[in-house]
Structure 1
């Protein structure tokens, strides 16, 4: 019980180091700015890879609230009707630049959590943030392909290795397990490399696991709440969807920072326990 109490104390101490509400607002702003270029990229990808857009919409509909989904669907449909060869490159560059500002903000917040005295050089930090966004692009693309073509991929694998296709009967469970794993992997790398602080991989697992599960549960409950209990559309009209989207970005950003705080609290706790053990094992002279 004392161990849990000590861990909570470290976590509360980390909460005091960062204005989590301000960081959440910052992240919501930067991620909202990156939304349109990301949709440019998505619509171009759907077009050039001949992906069934209804399958993509079906997957999105399971995560986001109805009003938010309607906004995204409308934008993507509009972009698909006015596509050009340059959309893909513009979408990629725009998203990487805009969203890397958000990643950079996460890095600053995590540096504060770890009480990092010196931040990385601006150029190095910016390049790191952009590389991380490219990596996220690849992972998001992989998740989209698995979400749309997962059953066909499963059928191909079973034929290739002469397996029983019944393995893939619970397709939805398998698909969402992969989505959670991809999110978890991305978060482990984010928590490991983004702060300018020496962090072990094992010190990122607890926070990444918390953030992955908490974000999925939050998105699901948020979707139910907005669809069934909220009255944003009636009060604010068409701008209600934008407000919902910003709120979702804001709370998602806070969850990511809390995950980093959990990692920092865990790392402090482990170091404290090792120091105590070292003192106890040191022979008295």
Structure 2
């Protein structure tokens, strides 16, 4: 118990010293620039693989407030309405490059958490950011495909393969746990590979678990608050959905950076 208290106190102290709220605000700025190009890239891939863009979008924005979800859905649908393949060529390359800017800002925040200067070459860091963006997009596409086609797999695939019905409930559980595990793996990869510091997979696990659970909890609570008590539309008018999106991105940035600070605090204890 004393050890947990010591870690929490160290985490609070490090967050103050690194001015984590300001870092989260900076990261949010980069994320808002990268957010829609990244979603355009992801949903262009989804359309390329003949997945249902509408069903996938509904699954992806399920944790978000209604107004924010509508804002994202309308903008991405408009941007991806071109089916002639243009977005899957030069336009997508630009989207990946822009979206990787948010990952680059995250690298800077994690380096500051560990107190490490960036000594890697520019092209190495940029290659890491692009690879992380592509990996994140791939995980989202696979996870969304599982969620969208999960019911069809259960109804037709299991029956065709002769899977006993008592195992079908296990598949329903997997549909929920697999996205959470996928998110954990993404954070694990981020915390392991992004800082300019040699880390083991076990050293990156605590922050990954914290960020996964914390991000889901923060998103659900924020969505509940905005849908039931928040009055962004009354306060900001037509900008209400955009302000809510910015607040959500700020909360997400703060959660991810706290995960990095937790790993750094545990590393300093060791």
For the criterion TM > 0.5, the same-fold answer is: yes
The answer to whether the 8 Å contact 1:7/1:265 transfers is: yes
CA distance in structure 2 between the aligned counterparts of 1:38 and 1:72, rounded to whole angstroms: 12
Identify the residue that residue 75 of structure 1 maps to in structure 2: 75
For each residue in 1:83-137, what CA deviation from the matched residue of structure 2 results, as whole angstroms up to 9, or x when unmatched?
4311133553233212222211211121121122453222211111111111111
Deviation at 1:168, TM superposition (A): 3.2
Identify the residue that residue 277 of structure 1 maps to in structure 2: none
Q: Secondary structure at the match of 1:230?
A: coil
The answer to whether the 8 Å contact 2:80/2:87 transfers is: no
Deviation at 1:163, TM superposition (A): 2.3
**2:181 matched to 1:181?**
yes
CA distance in structure 1 between the aligned counterparts of 2:249 and 2:91, rounded to whole angstroms: 20
Identify the residue that residue 45 of structure 2 maps to in structure 1: 45
My pick for the range that moved more, 4-13 or 203-212, is: 4-13
Identify the residue that residue 250 of structure 2 maps to in structure 1: 250
Identify the residue that residue 140 of structure 1 maps to in structure 2: 140
Q: Secondary structure at the match of 2:199?
A: coil
CA distance in structure 2 between the aligned counterparts of 1:57 and 1:173, rounded to whole angstroms: 21
For each residue in 1:187-212, what CA deviation from the matched residue of structure 2 results, as whole angstroms up to 9, or x when unmatched?
01110110111211111111111110
CA distance in structure 2 between the aligned counterparts of 1:166 and 1:90, rounded to whole angstroms: 48
My pick for the range that moved more, 131-140 or 8-17, is: 8-17
Mapping of 1:181-220 within 5 angstroms? 181-220=181-220
Q: Structure 2 length as normaliser, TM-score?
A: 0.90
* Count of aligned positions: 270
**2:29 matched to 1:29?**
yes
The CA RMSD over aligned residues, in Å, is 2.3
Q: Structure 1 length as normaliser, TM-score?
A: 0.85
Structure 1 spans left out of the alignment, 5+ residues: 272-285
